[in-house]
Structure 1
């Protein structure tokens, strides 16, 4: 069963998170432990044998590379990074996928480049991160102000602008997680997919899924018939709900997806 999962705050957590219980460290940055899985989550993915997990993350290739050894140890080979614009196979970008992403985002390219030039004139070079032609972000202590400015000054039909507490992200509108999930599903020949995510970035992926798992803050954005709302430690609850779903799926995938798409 194809399973797309976001990474940060869905599968893994920053060292800043105070989550009780044992941790399995999966990422180091500047010689220090940066991100971890809970022991429950790590144990679930080591033992499961019925899901094909594919990370679908806003992290770029360099950021994902810090996690790759831990995820490859789980037997995970593919990852969709830069919001799904780049497909990595065992850490190597898939050239055909890259070319297709460039073609898909062509109609958004002018607005994306204009926004990049606009931001370059406003912030210091070390605060602007642009690793590929599909996404850039700004690290700033004034994320709310920069976000409001970019939303006001750019064309939302061609540029997607998101923010968290410390970063503002800009991406071509056509390259969202939902589009990437559908591309991968069609390319791999899977009948349907399950998805899990926690943020605004993930909404297109969750909406396009046959069944999705989301935290209590997102349900209003996802159709009620396909969502499973998770409380508590999100990554651990995802494992619990997936275990329950496996029992449902034992009746046959076709019956499951027909029932959940009715």
Structure 2
């Protein structure tokens, strides 16, 4: 059945925020009321404003809301967004398409074929990142869903030359690189949020796609959308990314997430 709007939204530093990325200014007494959006090991980890939670409920009532995250499925499932489980969710940067909470087998098979044809194996990238000389800044190396690699890094210790060389190596191998906070991602090119979002749009028969995100891994998704939003923080802001259909927030941090949802609601359910 056709739906008028699909709204795809990145999670971390777009919709939900850790305590270190709230970017609140002014007096504590003037801070917005917030709700816990994620608990990890028994402690609150991510937050959104109470107003943002209410706005998200209204957006979900008016449109097909699609969380779109680089988190693995397990990491995504820790996030407690208000309202019912979304029909579709994009996790692992588009490597996993969840339909009613279950990974879509057809999507997985399609990606596997594309990666086998166009990309160097994951093990090649992992072997490069595991070189002993990189140990001072590659603190931990992880594999996500057997699809891509990410590392916990010491950004201060990491030389610019390392990143430039990694980008070049990955480009040759059919992979892309993104740095978000203390995490460095290496992802095969076929795995991207834009492709997964296009599949959701095809399946829902939508007439209009809205997207929001803050990182370079979100750029393709924002470019694909008819209307896009980004906060004035993050990789895309640092890169000065602009487009005719892209709107920027007036604030950064957790209040940017609230502003994005308010703007989206005005589009999908105009007063």
TM range (shorter): 0.7 to 0.9
Q: Verify: 1:4 aligned to 2:20, yes or no.
A: no
- Determine whether 1:240 maps to 2:252: no
Query: Per-residue CA shift, 1:46-100, capped at 9, x if unaligned?
Result: 2342121101111111211211xx2364442421111111012343211111111
Equivalence map 1:87-98=2 (5 Å): 87-98=97-108
**TM-score, normalised via structure 2 length:** 0.81
Residue 137 of structure 1 and its aligned partner are, at CA, apart by 0.3
Name the CA shift for 1:216/1:126 in 2 (closer, same or farther; >3 Å): closer
SS at match of 1:147: helix
| Structure-1-length-normalised TM-score | 0.84
Match of 2:204 among 177, 188, 193: 188
Q: From the superposition, tell whether residues 43 and 18 of structure 1 become closer, same or farther in structure 2 (CA, over 3 Å).
A: same
| Superposed counterparts of 1:13-162, under 5 Å | 13-16=17-20, 17-19=22-24, 20-48=31-59, 49-67=61-79, 70-71=80-81, 73-110=83-120, 112-122=122-132, 127-142=140-155, 144-145=158-159, 146-156=162-172, 158-162=174-178
Q: Structure 1 unaligned segments of length 5 or more: list them.
A: 251-262
**Within 2, Cα distance between the matches of 1:103 and 1:178?**
18
- Give the total of aligned pairs: 246
Residue 111 of structure 1 deviates from its aligned partner by: 5.2
Confirm or deny: 8 A CA contact 1:111 1:155 kept in the other structure.
no
The structure with higher relative contact order (CA 8 Å, sep 6+) is: 2
Q: Comparing both structures, which one devotes a greater share of its residues to helix?
A: 1
Q: After superposition, what is the alpha-carbon deviation per residue over 1:109-152, rounded to whole angstroms, capped at 9, x for unaligned?
A: 32543112222344679811103232210112147435334224
Q: How far did 1:222 drift? A: 4.0
